[in-house]
Amino acid sequence: MEVFLEQIIIYGTVALLCGVTVFFYLRHQKKISKLTTVKVEKAKEEGLFEPVSLHPYVDLNMCIGSGACIKACPEKDILGIIDNKATVINASHCVGHGACFHACPVEAISLRIGTETRGVELPHVNENFETNVKGIFLAGELGGMGLIKNSIEQGAQAIENLSKTLSRKKPGHYDVVIIGAGPAGISGSLTAKKLGLSSITFEQNSLGGTVFTFPRAKIVMTAPVNLPLYGQVKLFDTHKQELLDLWKTVIKDNALTVVENTKVEKIIPQQEGGFKIITLSGESYLCHGVLIAIGRRGSPRKLGVFGEELPKVAYRLLEPERITGKKIMVVGGGDSAVESAMLLMDQNEVSLSYRSEKFSRLKPKNKSNIEEAISTGKIKMYYNSNLLSISEDELIIQVAGEEEARVLKNDLVYIFAGGELPTQFLKNAGIEIQKRFGYIMKKHG
């Protein structure tokens, strides 16, 4: 009887402890759900809930709420937990690295581009990175995978696949012309060298492509990656300049031909095979294959206002520390615009013009920092405004609700109005473009 009572006490104690554990676990999960719900509602208010590019999609029927996806994501508040199920929070901040996809123990996450209501135009590319035009390959951001690590891997794989299609070579032809000297283009150039292919790489701006336009201190890598002819690059929390210095070193050491500030205007398939590449300046090059490794933004979008062609107008910020004592107008309301304005504000008189009444889609840190800069007077803010014209030492902007436009003294203008998608450039080469709605991206290679 005494043993029986002891067993009842033991079992009762265990049951009580289990009950207490479950109680506190459920209370903790309820608290997490509540906090995540608040974050989702805030993201919706700020326009950050709707994804703008590659993003995770959670199958709620498969999700077990392990939280592995959240722990694997190096970004903050992209994913959260509500009612023991993963959910997307700030989808527009997702950079598409796919860490959540690989971390999920039950494969409840897929990577998608576009939503059921918002389509995204993507070129047709097969599993080998080849477009519908035989001999033209595509890698990097333009195909939907924009993270630097993904782009480097894709650039290498695309050239490896392209090399397998080369058979009869003609004199006077490059084996491959690479368009774009960003992560995918540089990786492709190095891979071509490794495989013994003759190549030339064109970049419409400067080495690094889109990465080159980032503010100097912007972190651009969060994971190691294998760079052809170099080995594993183990640079965590890498700054832009570190990465650019590395690329300059490998390009010099491997004697790659990279032509900067040269825009490719046309890719013309030849009847006898191969392609003719024509640059904006009218020069032409013959090649057997092409790798397109340009960003989705293409060329900077212009405002079309009087005086926009003046030398004082720029569409990217370079060497901000060298600009001092200037009256500067920054146009735009995205992360690039506010980051640039804040980099310039300590040594210059900076104004910021944005066509809307409040910021949307800004990263949380950028939003708090720019609001502080405005409140302290470091930046003069013009909401609901439009730039009308630019002259040598002035500019004119119209602020909504004001009868007369404002004439402001000005030395420099920086315009961050996004970029023109290179859709027509691709179509002219015969590449098919399709609008994707909730398209599931498959990682190649």
How many CA atoms lie less than 13 Å away from 197 in the CB half-sphere? 31
Range 425-439 average pLDDT: 84
How many CA atoms lie less than 13 Å away from 215 in the CB half-sphere? 17
| H-run or E-run covering 57 | strand 55-58
Pairing type for strands 109-113 and 439-440 reads: antiparallel
Single-letter amino acid code for the residue at 65: G
CA 68 to chain centre: 24
| H-run or E-run covering 370 | helix 364-375
- Residues contacting 364, CB < 8 A, separation 6+: 76, 77
The answer to whether 54 and 113 are in contact (CB under 8 A) is: yes
Query: Is CATH 1.10.238.10 correct for 123-298+422-440?
Result: no
CA gap 134, 429 in Å, rounded: 11
- Among 39-48, 76-85, 368-377, 389-398, which stretch is predicted with the lowest mean pLDDT? 39-48
Structure tokens at 106: 């039950």
CATH 3.50.50.60 in the chain, residue ranges: 123-298+422-440, 300-419
Q: Which residue has the higher pLDDT, 34 or 420?
A: 34
Structure tokens at 396: 């004119």
87 SS3 class: strand
Structure tokens at 246: 């590395």
The answer to whether 189 and 256 are in contact (CB under 8 A) is: yes
CATH code of 2-113, in short, is 3.30.70.20
Task: State how far the alpha carbon of 287 is from the alpha carbons of 85, 199, 200, 229, 369, in Å.
Answer: 51, 9, 10, 23, 49
CA gap 154, 143 in Å, rounded: 10
CA gap 194, 175 in Å, rounded: 13
- Among 42-56, 74-88, 143-157, which stretch is predicted with the lowest mean pLDDT? 42-56
CA gap 176, 198 in Å, rounded: 7
CATH 3.30.70.20 in the chain, residue ranges: 2-113
Instruction: Using alpha carbons only, give the angle 338, 212, 53 rounded to the nearest 5 degrees.
Output: 65
Rounded percentage of the chain residues whose pLDDT exceeds 90: 40
- Return the bridge partners of 407, or none: 396
Among the listed residues 369, 367, 387, the one whose alpha carbon sits nearest the alpha carbon of residue 378: 369
Read off φ and ψ for residue 51, nearest 5 degrees. -70, 145
> What confidence score (pLDDT) does residue 214 get?
57
pLDDT in tens, 360-373: 778 788 889 999 99
The answer to whether 137 and 180 are in contact (CB under 8 A) is: no
Give the single-character DSSP code of 136.
E
CA gap 415, 332 in Å, rounded: 7
CA gap 414, 250 in Å, rounded: 32
CA gap 365, 156 in Å, rounded: 34
Question: In the predicted model, is pLDDT for residue 445 greater than 50?
Answer: no
Among the listed residues 199, 201, 202, the one whose alpha carbon sits nearest the alpha carbon of residue 169: 199
Read off φ and ψ for residue 439, nearest 5 degrees. -75, 130
> What confidence score (pLDDT) does residue 343 get?
93
> What confidence score (pLDDT) does residue 135 get?
95
Instruction: Using alpha carbons only, give the angle 379, 385, 388 rounded to the nearest 5 degrees.
Output: 110
DSSP 224-283: -EEETTTEEE--TTEEHHHHHHHHHHHHHHTT--EE-S--EEEEEE-TTSSEEEEETTS-
74 SS3 class: coil
Question: In the predicted model, is pLDDT for residue 86 greater than 70?
Answer: yes
pLDDT in tens, 282-331: 999 999 999 999 876 666 788 999 999 898 998 888 778 889 999 999 99
Structure tokens at 98: 């796919």
CA gap 166, 189 in Å, rounded: 16
Whether the pTM exceeds 0.85: the reply is no
Question: In the predicted model, is pLDDT for residue 28 greater than 70?
Answer: no
CATH code of 300-419, in short, is 3.50.50.60
